[in-house]
Every structure is written in C-alpha cells, then in structure tokens.
Amino acid sequence: MKKIYADLHIHIGRTYTGRAVKITGAKTLTLDRILVEASEYKGIELLGIIDCHSPEVIIELEEGIASGRYQELEGGGVRYRSTTLLLGSELEIYDEACSGPIHVLAFMPTLADMKQFSAWLSARMKNIHLSSQRIYETGLNLQKKVKEMGGLFIPAHIFTPHKSLYGKGVKSTLTEVFDSSMIDAVELGLSCDTPMASRVSELNKYSFLTNSDAHSLGKIGREYNELYVASADFSEFALALKGQDNRKITANYGLDPLLGKYYQTACEVCGERTESGATACAECGGARLTKGVSERLCELSDQSGKGISRPRYVHQIPLQFVPGVGPKTLDKLKTAFGTEMAVLHETSEEDLARVVPPKTAALIVKARSGKLELKAGGGGTYGKVKS
C-alpha cells in the first residue's frame, strides 16, 4: 500500500491533428503533453482525463499503446511512466427532470470500454468530438449505462452556479434527477470545501473529491486528492472511493473557497460582490446577479456537518497564486526539487530559500499552511492573495 496524489478532472484542448476537443482549453493541452506534465513536473500519479470519449483521443491512445509509449493496465487505466490515465468523459445532462444543466463525470475501466461508451454516446450527442457536450438522454439512463459497463459516475463541481447539480440542476435534492445508489462520489468544485459541503445531509454517504478542472497545463494539480492504495489504477481508485479493503481517500488538497470564482454572489454587469439575499447590485444597480456557492449552501444546509468523520481538507494555495512565483521562478523550483508536489509538501523553507528569495520562500510555506490573507472571488473572477 502507498500514498499517491490524484487529479481527476483534466481537459484536452486539442488532439494530435490539431482538432479542438475542449474549445476553451489551451492548444498546448494535448494528451501527450498532459501526461508528461503530470508525470515529470507535477508528481501526480493518477490522472483523470475526461475527454477520452472523443474519437481522435481514442485513436491516439490506441496508437500510443501499440507503439509501447503507453501501457494498458490489468487493473484498468493507461500508464505513462509514473502516471496512470483514468479514461473519463464529462457530459452535460439537461432532461425534463432538471431545473438547469448538470455536468457529470463518467470513468470507464478500459480503453475498449471507453470506445464502446463513445459509440453509445455518439447516437445521443450532436458532436462526439467535443468535450462537455449535452447528451440527449435522461440522467437515470446515463447512470444505468455507466453502471452496466462497470464504470464510475461522479457529478462534477456540484455547487458551481452554472451547469452543476446544486447550482441550477435541482431545486433541493439530487433525487430529483438521479438514482442516489448509482453515484460513486461527488466533486466539490473550486469554491467549496469539505466543511461547507458537509452541511448537506444527503451527501453524507459519498466520498468528496477535489480536482483542478484544468483548462491549461499550468492548472493541473491546483486541486487534488491524496489516496492510500496498492497501485494507481481504476480498480484501486474504485475501492478508495468506497473505503474498502483498507483503500481510502486520506486527504483533499484544494483552494481556500475564497479563491474560487464563484464563492460570493456578484453582479454579472460590473463584477461587484454583493451581500447574500441582495436583489440588485449596490454599485451599478444591475439586477443580474450570479449567486455564490456560499449563499447557495445556506439555502441547502440541513445539518452542521461537524460530527461527520471525513478525510482532512487542506487549504492549499497553488504555487501560481503565490506572489513572486512567476513562470521563471516556478521553473527554477521544479528544476531544483523535481515536481510541484515536492515543493508543496516536502521542501523545507530553508531549502526553498536557496533557490528563491527568502520572502518568496516564506510565502510558499505560508501558502502550504493556509496562512495568507485572501480576497473573496465571485461572478467568474478568482479571489486573490493579499499578502
């Protein structure tokens, strides 16, 4: 058994031919570069790529396995050096039971399974090549198909105001749309943490995941999970989600929710943050407000959550958020200490100060322990580190 780090929500921007997959994803976000970044620079051993239903991505994986660059694992997943790729798909549900669109993640054990799942999806989507597309199928039928194929079903960024389970998808309970017994875990999103989500009692039986939802190489690993497993593959991940056979999630590392783009309610016109319950912007008078995750959770909360035992949630500020850590400084740190995980978890302040200015080294250590002062984000704008 060993400890590994896992980020399970990574997009592909372009295929090997240059075809768009996630239109808002960086052009440099290709399959091969993602795997190199995760394995050699981030130190992430389990990586969920959630655009593997795209036919050209499947072809690239098949060719990589045939050439020996990648290896398909017996326990499920595709291995590149020290990182295992979990084969995932992000889909949008908006059936008659939904109040608004909901994004979900589906993970399949093998490439053959994902290829079969892609064929099933292609009859229910307008463009099978693109990421996060609407599936013209009910949420319940999608769940049944995923479970029939031995897959994992995980609602994504569940409190985000747009395109999420509690953001707009349901009025009060997930059973409006889904069968609660066919959900394997839930993903919290950047504006929420474990103490916040634990206030919703119907989530008590699910594991919480914190993932980056990366749209660029640099964003990989800005949120991630610490797992205790025998190996990095699909079957071990499935056991960890259920806490079975001594496999488990031991920690979630994520942004302080204040840094998320949707923590506080904000005006869609001028971006001004507003108080909970406001009906108009105090700055410009605009009535179009994006409800923050903190306000939505006040509506949904039905328990304190304090007595629930869960893995620790560590508020950790990504290196890119730390004042003084630009691209060149980040490269120096990775050259000196190997990976971002090593800098974030293992390197002492004294050793950091040999590579970067002492002030920057001190800020990295403060970021590691959640001691930096923050300004709340909202309305699609990230929060900021004040000091």
Cβ-based neighbours of 309, under 8 Å, separated by 6 or more:
none
Strand 102-108 to 83-93 pairing: antiparallel
pLDDT at 387: 59
Tokens of 365: 């250590």
Strand 289-290 to 312-315 pairing: unpaired
pLDDT at 367: 78
Which sign does the torsion angle of CA 41, 44, 50, 54 carry?
positive
Q: Which CATH class for the 318-371 domain?
A: mainly alpha
Q: CA distances (Å), 201 to each of 66, 185, 193, in order?
A: 47, 14, 15
pLDDT at 287: 79
**Nearest-angstrom CA–CA distance, 285 and 271:** 12
**Nearest-angstrom CA–CA distance, 116 and 119:** 5
pLDDT at 52: 98
pLDDT at 210: 96
**Nearest-angstrom CA–CA distance, 146 and 150:** 6
Residue 365: exposure state from Cβ atoms within 10 A (0-12, 13-18, ≥19): middle
* Tens-binned pLDDT, residue by residue, of the chain (387 aa): 999 999 999 999 999 999 999 999 999 999 999 999 999 989 999 999 999 999 999 999 999 999 999 999 999 999 999 999 999 999 999 999 999 999 999 999 999 999 999 999 999 999 999 999 999 999 999 999 999 999 999 999 999 998 999 999 999 999 999 999 999 999 999 899 999 999 999 999 999 999 999 999 989 998 999 999 999 999 999 999 999 999 999 999 998 888 888 888 888 888 778 877 777 887 787 778 888 899 999 999 999 988 788 999 988 777 878 888 888 898 889 889 888 888 888 888 999 999 999 998 988 888 777 677 777 777 777 777 775
> Is 46:4 a contact under the CB 8 Å cutoff?
yes
pTM (2 decimals)? 0.91
Candidate CATH numbers 3.30.70.100, 2.40.50.140, 3.20.20.140, 3.30.1330.50; the one for domain 2-256:
3.20.20.140
What is the DSSP code string of 84-105? EEEEEEEEEE--TT-SS-EEEE
End-to-end CA distance of the chain: 39
Domain residue ranges in the chain: 2-256, 318-371
Q: How many CB atoms lie within 10 A of CB 335?
A: 10
The position carrying tokens 């200490």 is 337
What is the DSSP code string of 208-229? EE----BSSGGGTTSSEEEEEE
Q: What are the residues facing 89 on neighbouring strands?
A: 51, 106
pLDDT at 10: 98
Strand 248-254 to 78-80 pairing: unpaired
pLDDT at 108: 98
